[in-house]
Amino acid sequence: MSLFILFKSQFFKVNSEDFKDEKKLADRLKESYRVTIYDIEDHSEVSSFLTTRGKFYFYTSLLTALIIILTCCLIIFTPIKKLIPGYGDILQNDKYIELNKKLDQLELDIENQAVYNAGLQKLLTAAETNDSNDNRKESDKSDNKNQTLEKSKNYITTNEVEESKEARELNQLVFTPPVKGIVSAEFDLKKNHYGIDILSTKNTPIIAALPGVVISADWSVDTGNTIYIQHAKNIVTSYKHNSALLVSEGDQVKAGQAIAIIGNTGKLTNGPHLHFELWFDGQAVNPMNFINFN
């Protein structure tokens, strides 16, 4: 027996046997079965229960779904996921942490290299300036002697300082010796030595002579690590050839505060010492007239 259905001018043949097959499938799902559990040793019955094929399919599907859900929960909410290749949290991965540390170190090295390059550029610029000045001095030796004498007239000599108003103002101030030691080279305007050299032991701290503001803390080819401090009453002190600087430009310092470590940096030096200069109103004065370095 056959049926024909008309749909959009086309014929589709439907067999009645198909309906019988569907009916048979529904009947099969309702068929009952007994499931018996036997002891394998003595073949005695342990347990048995009745079920249908539909129930078996339903409970099997439910159990499979529960297993899948439980497995997903274990993977998502427990550390088990670290054992799955490619699924673990990248932030907890040892290789990632190691690579991240190396990246941070590389960034720090790049910053340090940039600072080194900037300092090296300053050194090269200062060296070029110094070379050009040396060449100029060689070509004008005869004129330099006269210029030195003329220049020395513009500075206050020892006797003039002692008798001037400026000397009286400086004598009213209490200077702290930047370092205690032996004066190896004294103040001498004729030799263009505008300060004094003080010998002391290694790693001795250099301290500020007066309270003030650091106007320069930098490296120079000739004088090495050098600090300039601006004080009240238009007084400036300089500290040269230090091995290390403890302050930066713009820092406010107190009298007696450690600002550097004695050293032997720069070209114009032949041993650990401090070259100390005292300037008043733009003119160099002899620090030994106002400070006791012994």
Write the CA distances from 52 to 6, 26, 29, 66, 264, integer angstroms: 39, 11, 6, 21, 99
Can you say whether residue 250 is alpha, beta or left, with left for phi > 0 and alpha for psi between -120 and 50 degrees? Answer: left
Q: Helix 94-139 to helix 141-154 angle, to the nearest 10 degrees?
A: 100
Question: Considering the entire predicted model, what is its pTM?
Answer: 0.46
Q: Which residues fall within 8 angstroms of residue 277, CB to CB, at 6 or more apart?
A: 194, 195, 237, 238, 240, 284, 287
pLDDT in tens, the chain (294 residues): 333 333 333 433 445 455 455 557 777 777 777 778 877 787 787 787 787 878 888 888 999 999 999 988 887 787 776 666 655 555 556 777 788 888 888 887 787 777 667 766 765 665 566 556 555 655 565 565 555 445 444 444 444 544 456 677 788 888 999 999 999 999 998 988 999 999 988 889 999 999 999 999 999 888 899 999 999 888 999 999 999 999 999 999 999 999 999 999 988 777 789 999 999 888 899 999 899 888
Q: How many CA atoms lie within 13 A of 273 on its CB side?
A: 20
Instruction: Let me know: does 10 contact 23? Beta carbons within 8 Å.
Output: no
For residue 43, what pLDDT is reported? 75
